[in-house]
Amino acid sequence: MYNQTQLKDLVEKALLNLSLPCEAPRLAETIRYILSAGGKRLRPVLALMACNIFTDKIDHAVLPAAGLEIFHNFTLVHDDIMDNAPVRRNLPTVHTRWNVNQAILSGDIMAFIATECFINLPPEILQTVLRIYNKAAIDVCTGQQLDLDYEKVPSVTESEYLRMIELKTASLIAASLAIGATLGGAGTKERDTLHEFGVNLGMAFQIQDDLLDVYGETRIFGKTSGGDIAAGKKTFLYIKAMEMATGELLKTLKTLYQDKNHNRAEKIIIVKEIYDTLNIPQITENLANQYISRAISTLKSLPVNNDRKEELMSLTLSLTGRNI
């Protein structure tokens, strides 16, 4: 069995050895910049862990796993443009370092490079893998559209928000596990169990991400703190605060959150104070832990020996201890 560090190393080597368009050096340069920025490589590592549950031979799964990471990074490049985000993983975002056109083009070609990572799979599993991958890709874009739409409407319900993050974040994490299981030779039932596990893990991950956006340190989190508040994004924290706040507190939160021209730093401080007053951080953490518990329960139900699930269980538990 491989451990998390070994699997991440395999992914890093695959990304380093990618064949990139040599006729356009600037394009290759920006893609290298994006992929070299680091990150947890969560999606490809999960794919390889899922594969490793069913087989000790995982070499054939490394390039497809890298493809999942490339696709994920493509979505981040375009998300950063839409959010006008200046920092990603403690580095200037692509559109900040170069320009918007360069970022769009780099993201576009990364989507096709990601697909290229799957095409040499055996015919008997290629169609299954591509269907899982394409559905997740469509879900991610759908979720991003809902996220953009929700910025423009007066209110969003908790159920609407949870469905949005299921599409935008959890779907690709779940697909990574399902693809990994397929590459490992798992049956439909085992693949579906790992997909369900991934949905719950992805939900917890995004909810914790929302919390970290407000309360995480930039040097640890890798993004500018309070970006969601500044952009007026209707995260779980905001939705729950709007549900719980009354009187002047509710009026201040609603007015301030919708004011795009208010001083950024002051806006973030005041909204955080309202969140603290309403105990929103703990409520958010509790919801994330509920999804983690569901993920663990689903993983335990997977009909394989526990030692084959040990690395995946360890990774899942480690997500509950992310620095805030």
Amino acid at residue number 133: Y
Per residue in 224-259, pLDDT (tens digit) is 678 889 888 899 999 999 999 999 999 999 998 888
CATH code of residue 84: 1.10.600.10
Among 81, 66, 92, which residue's Cα sits nearest to residue 10?
A: 66
The reported pTM is: 0.92
Per residue in 200-226, pLDDT (tens digit) is 999 999 999 999 999 987 555 555 678
Q: What percent of the chain has pLDDT over 90?
A: 77
- Can you give the pLDDT at residue 324? 34
> What 3-state DSSP class applies to 24?
coil
Q: Which residues contact 214 (CB under 8 A, 6 or more apart)?
A: 225, 226, 228, 229, 237, 268, 271, 272, 275, 281
Per residue in 121-179, pLDDT (tens digit) is 999 999 999 999 999 999 999 999 999 999 888 889 999 999 999 999 999 999 999 99
Q: Distance of CA 1 to CAs 6, 118, 198, Å?
A: 10, 23, 20
Work out the burial of residue 152: count CB atoms within 10 Å of its CB; fewer than 13 is exposed, 13-18 middle, 19 or more buried. exposed
Q: Which residues contact 111 (CB under 8 A, 6 or more apart)?
A: 71, 74, 137
Is pLDDT larger for residue 219 or for residue 311?
A: 311
Q: What is the count of structural domains for the chain?
A: 1
CA 8 to chain centroid, in Å, comes to: 16
Question: DSSP per residue over 78-102, as a string?
Answer: HHHHHHT--EETTEE-HHHHS-HHH
Domain containing 312: what range?
Answer: 4-321
Lowest mean pLDDT among 18-32, 160-174, 193-207, 283-297: 18-32
Is the per-residue pLDDT at 323 higher than 60?
no
